[in-house]
Structure 1
Amino acid sequence: MSFGKTGMIKPIARTSSVTVTRMKMIAAWRFFIRSSTVEAAVSAAIMMTPLSYRSPKTEVRQSKIHGRGLFARADIDKGEIVAMKGGHIVDRETLRREITPRLGPVEIQIDDDLFIAPVTEEERESSMLYSNHSCDANIGMRGEITFVAMRDIRADEELTHDWATTDDDDYSLECKCGAPNCRKNLTGKDWQRPELQKRYAGYFSAYLARKIAMLAPGP
C-alpha cells in the first residue's frame, strides 16, 4: 500500500508470477529470433565466401590445354601471389573413395597422405583454382597452398603449374599440354627427376621440398 497526494491509501500494482513468466518467454523468443537471424546471415555470408583465393588479376576462361583454365587479366610480377587453395583437409583414402568419384580431380596434395579439397558439390566451384598442368609452367608453390608467379607474366597468358611441384602419387598418364618441352608422359613421381628439381628449385610444395632435401647427397 502507499499514500497518494490526497493522503488516501491506494494499492500498489503487482505483477503476477504468470505475467513475469510470460514476459520472460517473450523476451527469450525475441532473443532467439534475433540470434537466428544473425546466425542465418553469418551462414549465408560464409556460404558466399569462396574457399579458395584467386588474385583479382586473374580470371577463368576456356583453355586450349583442357576445359577451363586460369588466365592473367593483367601483368603479374614474379613472386606475386596468384592463388591460394582452400577446402577441407582429407586423407588419401577419403579422397579416392568419397570425393574423387563425385567431384572429379579437385584436390591439391599438401603432405604424404593429406590433401586439401572441397567435399560437397556446393563447395566445388568455390574451391577450384582452374590452373591446368603444363610442362612449361609459369606458377609454382610457396608453402603448401599458395601459388606464386615464377617469372613475370603478361596479360592473357594462361597460368599453369607443373604437377611435379605438388604431386607424390602412383599415377602415369599421357600429357597433352602442348608445350615445346612437353614430357608426353606424366607420373606422380616426376618430382624425383633431377632436371625438374633444378628447374623448379624454390617452387616445390613444402612437403616435396623436404623430400628432395632428404634425397640430396651429403657433403
Structure 2
Amino acid sequence: MTPEADCWLHPGVEVRDSPIEGRGLFARQPIAAGTVVSRLGGRLVSWAELRRLIADPEQPYVDTITVSETEHLVLPPRRPNGYGNHGCDPNLWWVGPYELAARRAIAVGEELTNDYATSTAEPAFTMDCTCGSALCRGTVTGADWRRADLRIRYGEHWIPMLLARIAGRTDPAESQASGGTDPTSGGIGVPPQAPTSMT
C-alpha cells in the first residue's frame, strides 16, 4: 500500500508539553473508540537510504516507521504526528499500515500514546520508558513483538511486517540462525519522538 504524500492528524488533537517526554499529543475533545486519529504519510525509502539520511549531519531530525523488511516511511519534517509518545498501556493502536485509531474512548486532556513495540523490530532499538502506566515495562525494545502478553493485548493491531513475524511467516533472527542475513540489523533505532507511536 502506497502512503499519502503528507500526514493527517485529527482536528481534535493538539501538541503541548508532556509529563512522559518533551512534547506530546493531547485530546482537545472527546475521541470515541475506533476513531482514526493519525494517518502517516511521506516517502518510502530503503534501509540503505534511511541509514544515509540519519548519518547526514545536514539532515534535520528524521521521523520514520518501519514498513517492511526492506522499507521505511520517512515523514515530512515538522509534522505534529511525530510528537506521539510511547505508552505501555496506550490509547491508540494500528488499524492499517499508516493509521492509528483510538483503542478506547479518550477523554479531553488525555495524552495520546501508542506502544512503540507495535511499529519497530529494529534489533538495536532500546528505550527507557517513563510512561507511568501500571503496565509500564521500564524498557521498550525492538524484540518486544515476541512477548506473548503484548501479542495478546494488541491482537491484530501491529504494523503489517510485525503481524507477518508474529504469524511465523518471517523472523530475521531465525534467518540469521540458519545462515541468512537480517536486513534490519543496520543499527538504526527509532528515536524517542518518532511516530512509531503516531507515527
Shift in CA distance, 127/159, structure 1 to aligned 2, threshold 3 Å: closer
Q: 1:134 aligns with which of 81, 84, 87?
A: 87
Structure holding more helix per residue: 1
* Cα shift readout 1:128-150 (whole Å, capped 9, x = no counterpart): 43111111111000121000011
1:108 corresponds to: 65
Q: 1:53 aligns with which of 2, 5, 8?
A: 8
Shift in CA distance, 138/127, structure 1 to aligned 2, threshold 3 Å: closer
Distance 1:79 1:95 in 2: 32
Distance 1:51 1:126 in 2: 9
2:122 corresponds to: 169
Question: Alpha-carbon deviation of 1:208?
Answer: 1.3
Distance 1:103 1:178 in 2: 30
* Cα shift readout 1:104-139 (whole Å, capped 9, x = no counterpart): 351111112211113xxxx41137431111111110
Q: Within 5 Å, give how 1:50-129 maps onto structure 2.
A: 51-99=6-54, 102-118=59-75, 123-126=76-79, 128-129=81-82
Distance 2:127 2:85 in 1: 15
Question: Alpha-carbon deviation of 1:214?
Answer: 2.1
1:148 corresponds to: 101
Distance 2:68 2:48 in 1: 14
2:137 corresponds to: 183
1:213 corresponds to: 167
Distance 2:97 2:114 in 1: 14
Distance 1:104 1:178 in 2: 26
TM-score computed with the length of structure 2 as normaliser: 0.75
In the TM superposition, structure 1's runs of 4+ consecutive aligned residues that sit over 4 Å from their partners are none
Q: Determine if contact 2:9/2:81 at 8 Å carries over to the other structure.
A: no
Question: Alpha-carbon deviation of 1:175?
Answer: 1.7
2:190 corresponds to: none
- Structure scoring higher RCO (CA < 8 A, sep ≥ 6) equals 2
Shift in CA distance, 154/128, structure 1 to aligned 2, threshold 3 Å: closer
Distance 1:127 1:68 in 2: 10
Question: Alpha-carbon deviation of 1:100?
Answer: 6.2
SS in 2 for 1:69: strand
5+ long unaligned stretches in structure 2: 170-199
Distance 1:63 1:205 in 2: 25
2:112 corresponds to: 159
Shift in CA distance, 100/136, structure 1 to aligned 2, threshold 3 Å: farther
* Cα shift readout 1:125-179 (whole Å, capped 9, x = no counterpart): 1374311111111100012100001111111111100011111111223222222
Superposed CA RMSD: 1.8
Q: 1:54 is matched by which residue type in structure 2?
A: L
Q: How many residues matched? A: 162
Question: Alpha-carbon deviation of 1:103?
Answer: 3.0
